[in-house]
Homo-oligomer: A and B are copies of this chain.
Amino acid sequence: MNISQAAAATGLTSKTIRFYEQQGVIPPAARSANGYRIYSEQQLEVLRFIKRSRDMGFSLEESRALFQLSQDPSRTSASVKQKAEQQIQRIDQQIESLQQMRAMLETAVSACRGDEQAECPILDQLNGVADEDSRLT
């Protein structure tokens, strides 16, 4: 199984797989006589693990560490759970930040007529104009 097949089987790209190898996230792939990387089902599992971890928002380094943990029989589930809970907290912060952005935008957008005129509450908001019903008062 060559790299593009491994890519198709894992949902990664060939480039990303090479990148992971170069970064030491995964062990170097074996090579066939022509120098092509070859992948076993076992290697695919490593790649899938990293992909799932990335899909949960863990960094590459954290993903690497999690994989190591998964290979370490002396690990404790507490140590894993802690990382996952931290990750949830980070995600919650990101969501909250995005929701704040969204609320600001939504307020501005709903006040904006979106016509051919120049007058625009969105730009007013960006300009720090304290609005409070700006038009025709």
Contacts and interface: CB of A to CB of B under 8 A. Distances in A.
A115 B77 contact: yes
Interface in A99-137: 99, 101-102, 104-106, 108-109, 112-123, 125-128
The secondary-structure label for the interface of chain A is: helix
B56 A120 contact: no
Contacts of A92: 102
Contacts of A49: 126-128
Interface of A: 45, 48-49, 52-53, 55-57, 66-67, 69-70, 73-78, 80-82, 84-85, 87-88, 91-92, 94-95, 98-99, 101-102, 104-106, 108-109, 112-123, 125-128
A114 to B, nearest CB: 4
